[in-house]
Structure 1
Protein backbone atom coordinates (compact mmCIF):
# COMPACT_ATOMS: atom_id res chain seq x y z
CA UNK A 1 0.00 0.00 0.00
CA UNK A 2 1.27 3.48 -0.87
CA UNK A 3 0.45 6.12 1.69
CA UNK A 4 -0.69 9.60 0.72
CA UNK A 5 2.47 11.72 0.76
CA UNK A 6 2.94 14.38 3.39
CA UNK A 7 2.69 17.95 2.07
CA UNK A 8 5.85 20.02 2.08
CA UNK A 9 5.86 23.32 3.92
CA UNK A 10 9.47 24.01 2.94
CA UNK A 11 10.34 27.09 0.91
CA UNK A 12 13.85 26.14 -0.15
CA UNK A 13 15.00 27.87 -3.33
CA UNK A 14 12.18 30.43 -3.18
CA UNK A 15 12.41 34.19 -2.80
CA UNK A 16 9.88 36.02 -0.62
CA UNK A 17 9.07 39.73 -0.52
CA UNK A 18 7.42 41.13 2.61
CA UNK A 19 6.02 44.67 2.74
CA UNK A 20 5.69 46.32 6.11
CA UNK A 21 8.37 43.86 7.15
CA UNK A 22 9.85 45.79 10.06
CA UNK A 23 7.34 44.70 12.67
CA UNK A 24 4.03 42.98 13.37
CA UNK A 25 2.65 40.44 10.93
CA UNK A 26 5.26 41.32 8.30
CA UNK A 27 8.16 40.65 10.64
CA UNK A 28 6.65 37.40 11.91
CA UNK A 29 5.96 36.19 8.38
CA UNK A 30 9.48 37.05 7.24
CA UNK A 31 11.01 35.14 10.15
CA UNK A 32 8.93 32.04 9.47
CA UNK A 33 9.53 32.11 5.71
CA UNK A 34 13.27 32.38 6.34
CA UNK A 35 13.20 29.44 8.76
CA UNK A 36 11.39 27.41 6.08
CA UNK A 37 14.26 28.02 3.68
CA UNK A 38 13.23 31.11 1.69
CA UNK A 39 15.54 33.98 0.87
CA UNK A 40 13.56 36.82 2.40
CA UNK A 41 13.52 40.46 1.30
CA UNK A 42 11.84 42.91 3.68
CA UNK A 43 10.75 46.40 2.77
CA UNK A 44 9.11 49.25 4.65
CA UNK A 45 9.52 52.90 5.52
CA UNK A 46 11.63 52.61 8.69
CA UNK A 47 15.21 51.55 8.03
CA UNK A 48 16.03 50.89 11.69
CA UNK A 49 13.18 48.38 12.09
CA UNK A 50 14.16 46.61 8.88
CA UNK A 51 17.81 46.44 9.90
CA UNK A 52 16.87 44.93 13.26
CA UNK A 53 14.76 42.20 11.63
CA UNK A 54 17.45 41.38 9.06
CA UNK A 55 20.10 41.14 11.74
CA UNK A 56 17.95 38.82 13.86
CA UNK A 57 17.19 36.52 10.92
CA UNK A 58 20.81 36.39 9.82
CA UNK A 59 22.10 35.79 13.34
CA UNK A 60 19.75 32.80 13.51
CA UNK A 61 21.46 31.41 10.42
CA UNK A 62 18.92 32.28 7.74
CA UNK A 63 18.92 34.49 4.64
CA UNK A 64 17.47 38.02 4.65
CA UNK A 65 17.98 41.46 3.17
CA UNK A 66 15.98 44.68 3.21
CA UNK A 67 15.40 47.96 1.41
CA UNK A 68 13.46 51.08 2.28
CA UNK A 69 10.25 51.57 0.27
CA UNK A 70 7.16 53.71 0.68
CA UNK A 71 4.58 51.53 -1.08
CA UNK A 72 2.31 54.54 -1.66
CA UNK A 73 4.92 55.75 -4.17
CA UNK A 74 3.73 53.64 -7.10
CA UNK A 75 6.60 54.63 -9.38
CA UNK A 76 9.07 53.50 -6.72
CA UNK A 77 7.12 50.27 -6.21
CA UNK A 78 7.39 49.41 -9.90
CA UNK A 79 11.04 50.41 -10.12
CA UNK A 80 12.33 48.77 -6.94
CA UNK A 81 10.36 45.54 -7.08
CA UNK A 82 11.03 45.18 -10.78
CA UNK A 83 14.77 45.59 -10.21
CA UNK A 84 14.90 43.06 -7.37
CA UNK A 85 12.47 40.39 -8.59
CA UNK A 86 11.17 37.99 -9.50
CA UNK A 87 9.77 36.93 -6.15
CA UNK A 88 8.06 33.57 -5.72
CA UNK A 89 6.12 34.71 -2.65
CA UNK A 90 4.61 38.06 -1.69
CA UNK A 91 3.35 38.86 1.78
CA UNK A 92 1.42 42.05 0.95
CA UNK A 93 1.21 43.35 4.49
CA UNK A 94 1.64 47.14 4.68
CA UNK A 95 -1.47 48.77 6.10
CA UNK A 96 -2.96 51.42 8.35
CA UNK A 97 -6.14 52.07 10.33
CA UNK A 98 -7.95 55.23 11.40
CA UNK A 99 -10.87 54.64 13.72
CA UNK A 100 -13.54 57.32 13.23
CA UNK A 101 -17.32 57.49 13.51
CA UNK A 102 -18.74 57.83 10.00
CA UNK A 103 -19.79 61.43 10.73
CA UNK A 104 -16.15 62.35 11.51
CA UNK A 105 -14.34 60.72 8.58
CA UNK A 106 -12.36 63.26 6.57
CA UNK A 107 -11.20 63.19 2.99
CA UNK A 108 -7.62 63.01 4.27
CA UNK A 109 -8.51 59.96 6.40
CA UNK A 110 -10.02 58.31 3.35
CA UNK A 111 -6.96 58.97 1.20
CA UNK A 112 -4.51 57.71 3.82
CA UNK A 113 -6.34 54.44 4.54
CA UNK A 114 -7.55 53.53 1.07
CA UNK A 115 -4.35 54.55 -0.69
CA UNK A 116 -2.22 52.31 1.51
CA UNK A 117 -4.54 49.40 2.25
CA UNK A 118 -6.02 48.99 -1.23
CA UNK A 119 -4.31 51.05 -3.94
CA UNK A 120 -0.77 50.25 -2.82
CA UNK A 121 -1.65 46.60 -2.23
CA UNK A 122 -2.89 46.35 -5.82
CA UNK A 123 0.23 47.83 -7.38
CA UNK A 124 2.67 45.91 -5.17
CA UNK A 125 0.90 42.68 -6.15
CA UNK A 126 0.88 43.77 -9.79
CA UNK A 127 4.64 44.37 -9.75
CA UNK A 128 5.32 40.94 -8.23
CA UNK A 129 2.88 39.24 -10.62
CA UNK A 130 4.51 40.85 -13.66
CA UNK A 131 7.89 39.56 -12.53
CA UNK A 132 6.51 36.05 -12.20
CA UNK A 133 4.79 36.12 -15.59
CA UNK A 134 7.88 37.47 -17.33
CA UNK A 135 10.02 34.71 -15.83
CA UNK A 136 7.42 31.99 -16.40
CA UNK A 137 7.39 31.03 -12.73
CA UNK A 138 4.46 30.07 -10.51
CA UNK A 139 4.02 31.90 -7.23
CA UNK A 140 1.90 32.78 -4.23
CA UNK A 141 0.58 36.23 -3.37
CA UNK A 142 -0.77 36.59 0.16
CA UNK A 143 -2.77 39.75 0.78
CA UNK A 144 -3.12 40.60 4.46
CA UNK A 145 -6.78 41.33 4.96
CA UNK A 146 -8.77 41.14 8.19
CA UNK A 147 -11.91 39.73 9.73
CA UNK A 148 -13.15 43.28 9.07
CA UNK A 149 -13.07 42.44 5.38
CA UNK A 150 -16.04 40.16 6.08
CA UNK A 151 -17.99 42.08 8.75
CA UNK A 152 -18.54 45.66 9.84
CA UNK A 153 -17.72 47.49 13.04
CA UNK A 154 -18.25 50.81 14.79
CA UNK A 155 -15.71 53.37 13.67
CA UNK A 156 -14.23 50.99 11.11
CA UNK A 157 -15.79 52.32 7.91
CA UNK A 158 -12.52 53.11 6.15
CA UNK A 159 -10.62 50.07 7.35
CA UNK A 160 -13.49 47.72 6.54
CA UNK A 161 -14.00 49.37 3.15
CA UNK A 162 -10.35 48.86 2.31
CA UNK A 163 -10.36 45.23 3.41
CA UNK A 164 -13.66 44.39 1.69
CA UNK A 165 -12.10 45.94 -1.41
CA UNK A 166 -8.97 43.85 -0.92
CA UNK A 167 -11.09 40.70 -0.71
CA UNK A 168 -12.72 41.52 -4.06
CA UNK A 169 -9.39 42.47 -5.60
CA UNK A 170 -7.89 39.17 -4.45
CA UNK A 171 -10.61 37.12 -6.11
CA UNK A 172 -10.25 38.98 -9.40
CA UNK A 173 -6.48 38.74 -9.32
CA UNK A 174 -6.75 35.01 -8.65
CA UNK A 175 -8.90 34.56 -11.74
CA UNK A 176 -6.56 36.61 -13.93
CA UNK A 177 -3.39 34.90 -12.72
CA UNK A 178 -4.57 31.29 -12.36
CA UNK A 179 -3.67 30.37 -15.97
CA UNK A 180 -0.08 31.36 -15.14
CA UNK A 181 0.16 29.28 -11.98
CA UNK A 182 0.15 32.29 -9.67
CA UNK A 183 -2.13 31.87 -6.66
CA UNK A 184 -3.67 34.79 -4.75
CA UNK A 185 -5.33 34.49 -1.33
CA UNK A 186 -6.00 36.56 1.75
CA UNK A 187 -5.31 35.88 5.40
CA UNK A 188 -7.88 37.44 7.75
CA UNK A 189 -6.72 37.83 11.36
CA UNK A 190 -8.71 38.89 14.37
CA UNK A 191 -7.26 41.17 17.06
CA UNK A 192 -3.71 40.07 17.79
CA UNK A 193 -2.10 40.97 21.12
CA UNK A 194 0.64 43.40 20.05
CA UNK A 195 2.00 46.77 21.10
CA UNK A 196 0.03 48.33 18.21
CA UNK A 197 -3.36 46.93 19.25
CA UNK A 198 -3.08 47.50 22.99
CA UNK A 199 -3.91 51.25 22.84
CA UNK A 200 -7.08 50.40 20.87
CA UNK A 201 -8.01 47.62 23.28
CA UNK A 202 -7.46 49.91 26.27
CA UNK A 203 -10.24 52.23 25.06
CA UNK A 204 -13.08 51.83 27.59
CA UNK A 205 -15.36 48.96 26.65
CA UNK A 206 -13.33 47.84 23.63
CA UNK A 207 -11.52 44.88 25.15
CA UNK A 208 -14.73 43.42 26.62
CA UNK A 209 -16.51 43.82 23.28
CA UNK A 210 -13.67 42.21 21.34
CA UNK A 211 -13.45 39.25 23.70
CA UNK A 212 -17.22 38.79 23.50
CA UNK A 213 -16.97 38.40 19.71
CA UNK A 214 -13.96 36.09 19.60
CA UNK A 215 -15.52 32.71 20.26
CA UNK A 216 -12.32 31.30 21.75
CA UNK A 217 -12.56 34.03 24.38
CA UNK A 218 -9.07 35.49 24.02
CA UNK A 219 -6.89 37.63 21.78
CA UNK A 220 -4.77 35.98 19.12
CA UNK A 221 -1.01 35.60 19.39
CA UNK A 222 1.32 36.50 16.54
CA UNK A 223 2.65 32.96 16.28
CA UNK A 224 -0.90 31.73 15.68
CA UNK A 225 -0.87 33.46 12.27
CA UNK A 226 2.34 31.92 11.03
CA UNK A 227 0.95 28.45 10.31
CA UNK A 228 -1.60 29.90 7.91
CA UNK A 229 1.04 32.14 6.33
CA UNK A 230 3.38 29.21 5.78
CA UNK A 231 0.54 27.12 4.35
CA UNK A 232 -0.33 29.80 1.78
CA UNK A 233 3.31 30.43 0.87
CA UNK A 234 4.21 26.78 0.41
CA UNK A 235 3.35 24.03 -2.05
CA UNK A 236 1.07 22.57 0.61
CA UNK A 237 -1.62 24.94 -0.75
CA UNK A 238 -1.25 24.47 -4.50
CA UNK A 239 -5.02 24.10 -5.01
CA UNK A 240 -5.86 27.21 -2.97
CA UNK A 241 -6.51 30.44 -4.85
CA UNK A 242 -9.08 33.22 -4.65
CA UNK A 243 -9.87 32.31 -1.05
CA UNK A 244 -9.75 33.77 2.44
CA UNK A 245 -8.08 32.00 5.32
CA UNK A 246 -9.87 33.09 8.48
CA UNK A 247 -7.67 33.24 11.58
CA UNK A 248 -10.24 34.99 13.72
CA UNK A 249 -10.96 32.78 16.71
CA UNK A 250 -14.49 32.33 15.42
CA UNK A 251 -15.42 36.06 15.19
CA UNK A 252 -17.09 35.71 11.78
CA UNK A 253 -18.78 32.40 12.60
CA UNK A 254 -21.78 34.27 13.95
Structure 2
Protein backbone atom coordinates (compact mmCIF):
# COMPACT_ATOMS: atom_id res chain seq x y z
CA UNK A 1 0.00 0.00 0.00
CA UNK A 2 1.32 3.45 -0.88
CA UNK A 3 2.27 5.84 1.89
CA UNK A 4 0.00 8.93 1.94
CA UNK A 5 1.45 10.51 5.07
CA UNK A 6 1.61 14.28 5.20
CA UNK A 7 5.40 14.55 4.90
CA UNK A 8 5.66 12.28 1.88
CA UNK A 9 2.67 13.99 0.28
CA UNK A 10 4.40 17.36 0.63
CA UNK A 11 7.58 15.97 -0.93
CA UNK A 12 5.61 14.55 -3.84
CA UNK A 13 4.13 17.96 -4.58
CA UNK A 14 7.49 19.66 -5.10
CA UNK A 15 7.39 19.16 -8.86
CA UNK A 16 3.62 19.53 -9.22
CA UNK A 17 3.80 23.22 -10.05
CA UNK A 18 6.38 25.79 -11.03
CA UNK A 19 7.04 28.92 -9.00
CA UNK A 20 4.08 31.34 -8.89
CA UNK A 21 5.14 34.89 -8.00
CA UNK A 22 2.65 36.71 -5.82
CA UNK A 23 0.77 39.77 -7.03
CA UNK A 24 0.47 41.14 -3.49
CA UNK A 25 1.74 44.70 -3.30
CA UNK A 26 2.37 44.98 -7.03
CA UNK A 27 1.56 48.43 -8.42
CA UNK A 28 -0.70 48.23 -11.46
CA UNK A 29 -2.30 50.56 -13.98
CA UNK A 30 -5.19 49.38 -16.15
CA UNK A 31 -6.29 51.61 -19.02
CA UNK A 32 -9.95 51.26 -19.87
CA UNK A 33 -10.34 49.73 -16.43
CA UNK A 34 -13.87 50.99 -15.73
CA UNK A 35 -15.88 48.57 -17.88
CA UNK A 36 -15.68 45.18 -19.58
CA UNK A 37 -12.38 43.35 -19.79
CA UNK A 38 -10.37 46.11 -18.10
CA UNK A 39 -12.73 46.24 -15.13
CA UNK A 40 -12.63 42.46 -14.74
CA UNK A 41 -8.82 42.49 -14.82
CA UNK A 42 -8.64 45.29 -12.25
CA UNK A 43 -11.02 43.49 -9.89
CA UNK A 44 -9.15 40.19 -10.12
CA UNK A 45 -5.70 41.72 -9.63
CA UNK A 46 -6.95 43.78 -6.68
CA UNK A 47 -8.41 40.63 -5.14
CA UNK A 48 -4.91 39.10 -5.35
CA UNK A 49 -3.42 41.97 -3.35
CA UNK A 50 -2.24 44.26 -6.15
CA UNK A 51 -2.77 48.02 -5.83
CA UNK A 52 -4.69 49.05 -8.94
CA UNK A 53 -5.08 52.46 -10.60
CA UNK A 54 -7.57 52.66 -13.46
CA UNK A 55 -8.96 55.11 -15.99
CA UNK A 56 -12.01 55.45 -18.20
CA UNK A 57 -14.02 58.16 -19.91
CA UNK A 58 -17.32 58.03 -17.97
CA UNK A 59 -17.65 59.15 -14.33
CA UNK A 60 -20.45 56.73 -13.41
CA UNK A 61 -18.48 53.79 -14.82
CA UNK A 62 -15.41 54.87 -12.83
CA UNK A 63 -17.45 55.10 -9.63
CA UNK A 64 -19.00 51.68 -10.21
CA UNK A 65 -15.65 50.02 -10.97
CA UNK A 66 -13.91 51.55 -7.96
CA UNK A 67 -16.74 50.47 -5.66
CA UNK A 68 -16.30 46.87 -6.82
CA UNK A 69 -12.49 46.98 -6.68
CA UNK A 70 -12.59 48.33 -3.14
CA UNK A 71 -14.82 45.45 -2.06
CA UNK A 72 -11.93 43.07 -2.74
CA UNK A 73 -8.79 45.21 -2.45
CA UNK A 74 -7.16 48.60 -3.04
CA UNK A 75 -7.87 50.80 -6.04
CA UNK A 76 -8.25 54.33 -7.32
CA UNK A 77 -8.52 56.05 -10.69
CA UNK A 78 -9.52 59.07 -12.74
CA UNK A 79 -11.57 59.96 -15.80
CA UNK A 80 -9.50 60.66 -18.92
CA UNK A 81 -9.71 60.28 -22.68
CA UNK A 82 -6.53 58.57 -23.85
CA UNK A 83 -7.00 59.89 -27.38
CA UNK A 84 -5.55 63.11 -25.94
CA UNK A 85 -1.83 63.15 -25.17
CA UNK A 86 -2.45 65.58 -22.30
CA UNK A 87 -4.81 63.08 -20.69
CA UNK A 88 -2.23 60.30 -21.01
CA UNK A 89 0.21 62.48 -19.08
CA UNK A 90 -2.47 63.37 -16.53
CA UNK A 91 -3.37 59.72 -15.97
CA UNK A 92 0.21 58.66 -15.32
CA UNK A 93 0.91 61.66 -13.10
CA UNK A 94 -2.10 60.70 -10.97
CA UNK A 95 -0.96 57.07 -10.96
CA UNK A 96 2.49 58.17 -9.80
CA UNK A 97 0.96 60.07 -6.89
CA UNK A 98 -1.23 57.17 -5.78
CA UNK A 99 0.96 54.16 -6.54
CA UNK A 100 4.42 55.60 -5.92
CA UNK A 101 5.88 53.50 -8.74
CA UNK A 102 4.81 51.00 -11.37
CA UNK A 103 5.28 47.25 -11.74
CA UNK A 104 2.51 46.18 -14.15
CA UNK A 105 0.68 47.98 -16.96
CA UNK A 106 -2.40 46.48 -18.59
CA UNK A 107 -2.98 48.41 -21.81
CA UNK A 108 -6.59 47.78 -22.71
CA UNK A 109 -8.63 50.90 -23.57
CA UNK A 110 -10.45 50.58 -26.91
CA UNK A 111 -13.55 51.73 -28.76
CA UNK A 112 -15.58 49.93 -31.45
CA UNK A 113 -14.57 50.50 -35.08
CA UNK A 114 -16.08 49.14 -38.26
CA UNK A 115 -15.60 49.23 -42.04
CA UNK A 116 -13.44 52.00 -43.47
CA UNK A 117 -15.99 53.09 -46.06
CA UNK A 118 -18.68 53.43 -43.38
CA UNK A 119 -16.56 55.51 -41.00
CA UNK A 120 -16.69 59.34 -41.11
CA UNK A 121 -13.26 60.97 -41.17
CA UNK A 122 -13.53 62.50 -37.70
CA UNK A 123 -14.62 59.16 -36.24
CA UNK A 124 -11.75 57.45 -38.05
CA UNK A 125 -9.21 59.79 -36.50
CA UNK A 126 -10.63 59.20 -33.03
CA UNK A 127 -10.81 55.41 -33.43
CA UNK A 128 -7.20 55.21 -34.57
CA UNK A 129 -6.15 57.49 -31.71
CA UNK A 130 -7.74 55.22 -29.11
CA UNK A 131 -7.37 51.76 -30.65
CA UNK A 132 -3.80 52.13 -31.88
CA UNK A 133 -1.98 55.35 -31.00
CA UNK A 134 -2.96 55.31 -27.33
CA UNK A 135 -1.52 51.81 -27.00
CA UNK A 136 1.86 53.21 -27.99
CA UNK A 137 1.65 56.38 -25.91
CA UNK A 138 0.44 54.63 -22.74
CA UNK A 139 2.97 51.81 -23.12
CA UNK A 140 5.73 54.37 -23.56
CA UNK A 141 4.62 56.25 -20.45
CA UNK A 142 4.48 52.99 -18.48
CA UNK A 143 7.95 51.89 -19.63
CA UNK A 144 9.39 55.24 -18.57
CA UNK A 145 8.40 54.25 -15.01
CA UNK A 146 9.41 50.58 -15.06
CA UNK A 147 12.52 48.68 -14.10
CA UNK A 148 13.62 45.06 -14.13
CA UNK A 149 10.91 42.62 -13.06
CA UNK A 150 8.06 44.60 -14.62
CA UNK A 151 5.29 43.44 -16.95
CA UNK A 152 3.25 44.99 -19.74
CA UNK A 153 0.11 43.16 -20.88
CA UNK A 154 -1.46 44.39 -24.11
CA UNK A 155 -5.09 43.42 -24.65
CA UNK A 156 -5.49 43.01 -28.41
CA UNK A 157 -8.18 41.13 -30.29
CA UNK A 158 -8.75 37.95 -32.30
CA UNK A 159 -9.83 40.39 -35.03
CA UNK A 160 -6.12 40.59 -35.85
CA UNK A 161 -6.28 36.89 -36.71
CA UNK A 162 -9.76 36.51 -38.23
CA UNK A 163 -9.50 39.79 -40.22
CA UNK A 164 -13.20 39.74 -40.99
CA UNK A 165 -14.76 42.16 -43.43
CA UNK A 166 -16.95 44.87 -41.96
CA UNK A 167 -14.39 45.80 -39.31
CA UNK A 168 -11.36 46.85 -41.35
CA UNK A 169 -10.49 49.82 -39.13
CA UNK A 170 -10.51 47.69 -35.98
CA UNK A 171 -8.59 44.91 -37.74
CA UNK A 172 -5.93 47.41 -38.82
CA UNK A 173 -5.49 48.69 -35.26
CA UNK A 174 -5.33 45.23 -33.65
CA UNK A 175 -3.02 43.82 -36.32
CA UNK A 176 -0.77 46.78 -35.59
CA UNK A 177 -0.82 45.98 -31.87
CA UNK A 178 0.09 42.37 -32.69
CA UNK A 179 3.20 43.47 -34.57
CA UNK A 180 4.04 46.10 -31.95
CA UNK A 181 3.95 43.52 -29.16
CA UNK A 182 6.28 41.17 -31.03
CA UNK A 183 8.89 43.82 -31.80
CA UNK A 184 8.71 45.43 -28.35
CA UNK A 185 9.22 42.04 -26.69
CA UNK A 186 12.52 41.66 -28.53
CA UNK A 187 13.58 45.20 -27.63
CA UNK A 188 13.02 44.74 -23.89
CA UNK A 189 13.84 41.08 -23.26
CA UNK A 190 17.33 41.79 -21.91
CA UNK A 191 15.92 44.42 -19.54
CA UNK A 192 13.70 41.88 -17.72
CA UNK A 193 10.55 43.70 -18.77
CA UNK A 194 8.07 41.19 -20.15
CA UNK A 195 5.64 42.08 -22.92
CA UNK A 196 2.56 39.90 -23.23
CA UNK A 197 -0.28 40.04 -25.74
CA UNK A 198 -3.73 38.60 -25.04
CA UNK A 199 -6.11 38.39 -27.99
CA UNK A 200 -9.68 37.83 -26.78
CA UNK A 201 -12.36 36.42 -28.99
CA UNK A 202 -16.01 37.47 -28.83
CA UNK A 203 -16.40 38.79 -25.28
CA UNK A 204 -19.43 40.15 -23.45
CA UNK A 205 -19.16 43.80 -22.40
CA UNK A 206 -20.83 47.15 -23.00
CA UNK A 207 -18.40 47.35 -25.94
CA UNK A 208 -20.88 45.05 -27.74
CA UNK A 209 -23.91 47.34 -27.30
CA UNK A 210 -26.31 47.91 -29.01
CA UNK A 211 -25.93 44.86 -31.27
CA UNK A 212 -25.75 42.53 -28.29
CA UNK A 213 -27.79 43.82 -25.32
CA UNK A 214 -27.30 42.26 -21.86
CA UNK A 215 -29.98 39.58 -22.23
CA UNK A 216 -28.53 38.46 -25.59
CA UNK A 217 -25.04 38.36 -24.10
CA UNK A 218 -26.23 36.16 -21.23
CA UNK A 219 -27.85 33.82 -23.73
CA UNK A 220 -24.69 33.52 -25.84
CA UNK A 221 -22.44 33.03 -22.80
CA UNK A 222 -24.73 30.22 -21.68
CA UNK A 223 -24.33 28.59 -25.09
CA UNK A 224 -20.50 28.90 -25.00
CA UNK A 225 -20.71 31.28 -27.97
CA UNK A 226 -19.48 34.33 -26.06
CA UNK A 227 -16.78 34.79 -23.42
CA UNK A 228 -17.15 36.61 -20.12
CA UNK A 229 -14.78 39.46 -19.39
CA UNK A 230 -13.65 37.47 -16.35
CA UNK A 231 -12.27 34.79 -18.70
CA UNK A 232 -9.80 37.32 -20.06
CA UNK A 233 -8.97 38.46 -16.53
CA UNK A 234 -8.08 34.85 -15.65
CA UNK A 235 -5.77 34.69 -18.67
CA UNK A 236 -4.11 37.93 -17.59
CA UNK A 237 -3.62 36.58 -14.08
CA UNK A 238 -1.96 33.46 -15.50
CA UNK A 239 0.38 35.53 -17.67
CA UNK A 240 1.42 37.65 -14.69
CA UNK A 241 2.08 34.79 -12.25
CA UNK A 242 4.83 32.95 -14.10
CA UNK A 243 8.52 32.86 -13.08
CA UNK A 244 10.71 35.59 -14.52
CA UNK A 245 12.45 33.03 -16.72
CA UNK A 246 9.09 32.29 -18.37
CA UNK A 247 7.50 34.60 -20.91
CA UNK A 248 3.94 33.66 -21.80
CA UNK A 249 4.08 36.00 -24.75
CA UNK A 250 0.81 35.37 -26.58
CA UNK A 251 -2.53 34.02 -25.45
CA UNK A 252 -5.60 33.66 -27.66
CA UNK A 253 -8.79 33.12 -25.72
CA UNK A 254 -11.67 31.96 -27.90
CA UNK A 255 -15.18 30.68 -27.44
CA UNK A 256 -15.58 26.90 -27.58
CA UNK A 257 -18.35 27.31 -30.14
CA UNK A 258 -18.56 29.82 -32.98
CA UNK A 259 -20.77 32.81 -32.29
CA UNK A 260 -23.68 33.60 -34.63
Contact 2:29 2:95 (8 Å CA) reproduced: no
Task: Provide the TM-score with structure 2 as the length reference.
Answer: 0.81
Deviations 1:126-180 (A, max 9, x none): 1011101xxx342111111010011211211000000000011111211122121
Larger radius of gyration: 2
Q: Aligned residues, how many? A: 237
Q: Which residue of 1 aligns with 2:57?
A: 45
Question: SS where residue 113 of structure 1 aligns?
Answer: helix
The residue correspondences of 1:167-206 to structure 2 (distance < 5 A) are 167-201=178-212
1:144 equivalent in alignment to 2:155:
yes
- For 2:245 and 2:89, the matched residues in 1 are separated by 27
Which 10-residue stretch deviates more, 78-87 or 177-186? 78-87
CA RMSD of aligned residues (A): 2.7
1:65 equivalent in alignment to 2:79:
no
- For 1:148 and 1:92, the matched residues in 2 are separated by 17
- For 1:236 and 1:20, the matched residues in 2 are separated by 27
Contact 1:138 1:181 (8 Å CA) reproduced: yes
Task: Provide the TM-score with structure 1 as the length reference.
Answer: 0.83
Q: Which residue of 2 aligns with 1:94?
A: 109
Which 10-residue stretch deviates more, 166-175 or 226-235? 226-235
Unaligned runs of 5+ in 1: none
1:80, distance to aligned residue in structure 2 (A): 3.6
State which of 117, 120, 143 in structure 1 corresponds to 2:134: 120
Runs of 4 or more above 6 Å deviation: none
- For 1:196 and 1:13, the matched residues in 2 are separated by 30
Contact 1:82 1:127 (8 Å CA) reproduced: no
Q: Which residue of 1 aligns with 2:252?
A: 246
Contact 1:92 1:142 (8 Å CA) reproduced: yes
1:55, distance to aligned residue in structure 2 (A): 1.9
Question: SS where residue 163 of structure 2 aligns?
Answer: coil
The residue correspondences of 1:97-112 to structure 2 (distance < 5 A) are 97-100=112-115, 102-112=116-126
